[in-house]
Amino acid sequence: MSQRGTARPDLDYEHLAPTADYVNRVVQVGGKYTLDEPFEAGWGNVVLDVTPRGLATRTFRRPDLSFQVHYGLLDGDVRIESDRGTRALALRHDSVASFYTAFCDAARDLGVDPPDSPLICEIPGSPSTFEEDRAPRTWDPDAARLMCTAWNLATAGLEAWQAPYLGHRPRVGVMWGGFDLSATRWRPQRTTPTPGRPAFQQNAELHAYVSVGFSFGTPDAPHPGMYAYIWPQPDGLDSRDWTVPGATWHPDAGLIQLPWPALLQTPDPVQSIVDFGDAVYAAAVDLSGWPADWVCPRVDGWYMSRTPAEQVQRLERERHEGG
């Protein structure tokens, strides 16, 4: 699985932050439709797909229409596509409030109701609703392109990491609230959610999981990079080898972190993301009793289309015996 041709964008938090903050807010508008979908463990129903040109919701299927929302970061537009037609609006607006008004008007033209909730979620210090967010906003096409390139690189690695997992695994995508790219592996083991947290966070902790993701950083931690954690958190993480140079355990944050500059210095960043994820899952196997045999051999579709089943089974046995 060679990805050495993948673009390697340098990411500077201060440069990206104004555009990322604006995009985080406006993708919540279309993202709210995902709350109408059946709940999937760990909020897998809310993720936005990383496309070649931006972020997109899943297709929403209603009794009388189907539609999807695509945020074209490279094109500077938002397209609401339905079986009745398409409406486009500019992504760049003076404020979140003016974007929200334009979005709802475009949706109504297609017979799509506005989102059920106008609340802005998981952004500390933000106004309560989209209509109240009238602060001037920054749109930088160069920052948007860097964001898209980084998302696609990280997604390539996370999708490859996820592919052989036999348990429940929501599709890799951006969580429109926290605005992180996430790949999560679940197993049906009841846990005790963290007391005092909001209901949506507690309901994300009902079962054990391993999460690997990517974030552009926050004002408190302005460092883009990969992260990972195991829920519930086991003891012994401080003594693990995370395979990729620069990846370290940060007990105060409860995260294994791989800074973006360290990732870009590896010969193959996409493979390094896979290796990083494998090291985290190995820690879950060793320290939390996760099943090692829930991971199949990592091969491509051509291999599986031509290889006899008994040979694949032998490879699987050898992998587990050797691991």
Structure confidence by residue, pLDDT tens digits, 238-271:
999 999 999 999 999 999 999 999 999 999 999 9
Report the greatest alpha carbon distance in the chain. 62
- Residue 208 pLDDT > 70: yes
pLDDT digits (tens, 9 = 90+) for 147-200: 999 999 999 999 999 999 999 999 999 999 999 999 999 999 889 989 999 898
**Structure confidence at residue 1 as a pLDDT band (50, 70, 90):** very low
Cβ-contact 232, 122 below 8 angstroms: no
Cβ-contact 166, 152 below 8 angstroms: no
- For the chain, what is the mean pLDDT? 94
The pLDDT score that the predictor gives to residue 280 is 98
Sequence ranges of the domains in the chain: 11-130, 139-286
The pLDDT score that the predictor gives to residue 198 is 87
State both tokens at 95: 């404020």
Q: Mean pLDDT, to the nearest integer, of 293-299?
A: 92
| DSSP character at residue 95 | S
Tell me whether the omega of the peptide bond preceding residue 232 falls within 30 degrees of 0, making it cis.
yes
| 47 or 138, higher pLDDT | 47
State both tokens at 178: 């926290």
Report the alpha-carbon distance of residue 11 to residue 146 in Å, rounded.
7
Helix (H, G, I), strand (E, B) or coil at 63: coil
Report the alpha-carbon distance of residue 47 to residue 202 in Å, rounded.
18
The pLDDT score that the predictor gives to residue 320 is 76
Report the alpha-carbon distance of residue 294 to residue 303 in Å, rounded.
20
The structure tokens 């579709």 sit at 301
If we measure between CA atoms, which residue out of 140, 153, 143, 124 comes closest to residue 5? 153
User: Which strand (E) or helix (H) includes residue 230?
Assistant: strand 225-231
Q: What are the φ and ψ backbone dihedral angles of 228, each rounded to 5 degrees?
A: -160, 155
State both tokens at 139: 């749109």
If we measure between CA atoms, which residue out of 140, 192, 184, 181 comes closest to residue 165? 184
- Residue 56 pLDDT > 90: yes
Helix (H, G, I), strand (E, B) or coil at 88: strand
Judged by phi (left if over 0) then psi (alpha if -120 to 50, else beta), residue 296 lies in beta
The sign of the CA dihedral 207, 68, 155, 250 is negative
Q: Which residues, listed in sequence order, are joined to residue 182 by a DSSP beta bridge?
A: 173, 213
**Structure confidence at residue 46 as a pLDDT band (50, 70, 90):** very high
Report the alpha-carbon distance of residue 148 to residue 135 in Å, rounded.
25
What pTM was computed for the model?
0.93
Report the alpha-carbon distance of residue 186 to residue 44 in Å, rounded.
11
Radius of gyration of the chain (CA): 20
pLDDT digits (tens, 9 = 90+) for 77-96: 999 999 999 999 999 999 99
